[in-house]
Structure 1
Amino acid sequence: MPLKKKKVGSYPNAMIIASLTAALFLIGFCGLLVMQSKKLISIIKQNIEVRVMLDKGLDSNQVTKVYKGIVARPFVLSIDGKPQVTFFSKDEAAKEFIADTKEDFSTLLGDNPLHDSYRVRLQEDYFEDTKLKQIKAELEKNDGVFEVVYQENLADQINKNLTKIYLILATFAVIMLVIIILLMNNTIRLALYSQRFLIRSMQLVGATNGFIQRPFLKNGAVQGLISGLIAAGLIVALQQLALHQIEGLHLLQEYDKLSFLLAGVIILGALIGIASTFQALARYLRMALDDLY
């Protein structure tokens, strides 16, 4: 029975593709978490309100003047051309206070001491403690404004926690990338072991290193692309499953950024496949004949 000829650059692919797919999926999943956590924080920031308390006894013209002075500011969030500034009467504020505290102060005081107010949602760029203090000082200079209140230190706490989340995910992604490279190098090196004599035979007949490497690098690129495509498909499948299981998750989706993430996973797979194959192959190209045994 004739022996089956070995084809240059051919070796078992399943183990390499499986290992690289798993690693690329974890990296892509980290990227997806970063994207959605950033979107979530953006939504939280845009829904936190600054309360502009009005002086008591203002007539409708004075109240309107205060409103116009607020909406003209650059820090006010606008959605579809509509400034996100809402009037909140003192009666509405009293109902909210009673609902939150379960205490009816009107039975004790006999009067409503609260103020009419405007609740202002801010642009995300202004969500910093220093900028919030400037906004407070700026608005309190307006006639008819009694006081401006907001949750102090909340912005810094959210920003610090967000930085920690990004740092943890980035560290995990870097660790995974290092593990991928080490794992792929060892896996491909073992796979190339079966072709070490074929590589040496090509060197003996005068084949250049570039000629020998070409089919192997091509195969590595194909393996990386296949792994990247499978990993991208798993990420999309996981995302779609989560969308059907978690209510409101659709608000965090940014499909343009997701497409860049998936493309990045596929390209990263191809690059890792080529780089790992090149590095593992270089070892056999430099190896002495005695070491092949």
Structure 2
Amino acid sequence: MARTKKRVGTYPSGMILFSLTLALFLIGFCGMLAIQSKRVVTYIRENYEMRAFLDKGLSDSKMTKLSQTIAEKPYILKTNGAAQVTFVPKDVAAKEFIAETKEDFSKFLGENPLRDSYRIKLTEENFEEAKLQQVKQDLEEIDGVFEVVYQENLVDSINRNITKIYAVMSAFALILLIIIVVLMNNTIRLALHSQRMLIRSMQLVGATNGFITRPFLGRGMWQGLLAGVIAVALLLAGLQLAIHNLPELAMFQDTQKLIFLLAGIVGLGVLIGFLSTFQAVHRYLGLTLDELY
């Protein structure tokens, strides 16, 4: 029975494709978590409200001018061109207070001691203690504003936790990437082990290193491309399944960043396939005959 001839650049690729697909999927999953967490952080920061309590007895014209002055401040969040400044009459504030505390202070005070106020949402860039203090000071200098308050402890807690989350995710992604590169190098090196004698034979008949390496690199890049496409398909399927079961996730999607991430996954697959194959082939090209055995 005739033996099947080995062709340069051919080697068992099933395990390589599986390993690389799994690795790219994990990297993409971490990237999607990072994108989602960034959107969640932005949502939390932009929905945090600062309260500006007003002087008592302001006229309607004064209130209108005050509202316009606050809305024109550069640090005020604007959604579809509308400044996120909401007027809260003291009667509404009293009802909210009673609903939260279950205590009706008007029964023993005889009047409503609360003030009219504005609930103000700020841009994400101002969600820092130093900048919030500047905003507070600037608002309190406006004629008609009695006092500006916000929960300082909550701001500090949110910022500290966000920093910790980003640090942990960055470290995890870096460690994962290093493990993946080492794993792929070893996997491709083992796969090319069966081709070492063929590589040596080609060297003996005068083939250049470039001629020998070219088909291996082409196959490695093709495997990286295929693994990237499969990983992207799995990530999109998982994302759609998650949105189907939890529709609220749809509001945290960033389509542009997601496209860049998925394109990067495919590109990373091609790059890993190229570099790992290049390193493995050149290792065998430099071995002596004794080392080959």
If the TM-score is normalised by the length of the shorter chain, which range does it land in? over 0.9
Task: Give the fraction of aligned pairs with identical amino acids, expressed as a percent.
Answer: 60
Q: CA deviation at 1:58?
A: 1.2
- Alpha carbon RMSD of aligned pairs, Å? 1.0
- Partner residue of 1:101? 101
1:270 equivalenced with 2:270 (yes/no): yes
- Cα separation, 1, equivalents of 2:290 and 2:273: 29
**In structure 2, what is the Cα distance between the partners aligned to 1:14 and 1:89?**
68
Q: Distance in 1 between matches of 2:24 and 2:164?
A: 23
SS in 2 for 1:118: strand
Equivalent in the alignment of 2:78 = 78
Per the TM alignment, residue 169 of structure 1 is displaced from its structure 2 partner at its CA by: 1.3
More deviation, 158-167/42-51: 158-167
| Residues 51 and 119 in structure 1, CA contact (< 8 A), matched pair in contact too | yes
Partner letter of residue 169 of structure 1?
Answer: M
The aligned length equals 293
Q: Structure 2 CA distance, aligned partners of 1:101 and 1:48?
A: 21
C-alpha distance in 2, partners of 1:95/1:144?
24
In structure 2, C-alpha distance between the alignment counterparts of 1:261 and 1:65, rounded to whole Å: 46
- What displacement does 1:279 show? 1.0
Report what 2:200 is aligned to: 200
Q: 1:105-135 CA deviation, whole Å, 9 max, x = no partner?
A: 1112111100001111111111111111111
Please say if residues 16 and 188 of structure 1, whose CA atoms lie closer than 8 Å, have aligned partners that are also in contact: yes
Residue 168 of structure 1 corresponds to which residue in structure 2? 168
In structure 2, C-alpha distance between the alignment counterparts of 1:33 and 1:167, rounded to whole Å: 13
Equivalent positions of 1:217-232 (< 5 A) are 217-232=217-232
Q: Which residue of 1 aligns with 2:21?
A: 21
Trace 1:1-293 onto structure 2 (pairs within 5 A): 1-293=1-293
In structure 2, stretches of 5+ residues that fail to align are none
Write the distance in 1 (CA, Å) between the matches of 2:280 and 2:172. Answer: 25
Contact 1:52 1:145 in 2 (8 A): yes
Q: Which amino acid aligns with 1:101?
A: T
Equivalent-residue separation in structure 2 for 1:109 and 1:17 (angstroms): 75
Kept after mapping to 2: 8 A contact 1:129/1:153: no
Provide TM-score, normalisation by structure 2. 0.98
What is the alpha-carbon distance in structure 2 between the residues aligned to residue 65 and residue 55 of structure 1? Answer: 14
Opposite residue 16 of structure 1, the aligned amino acid is I
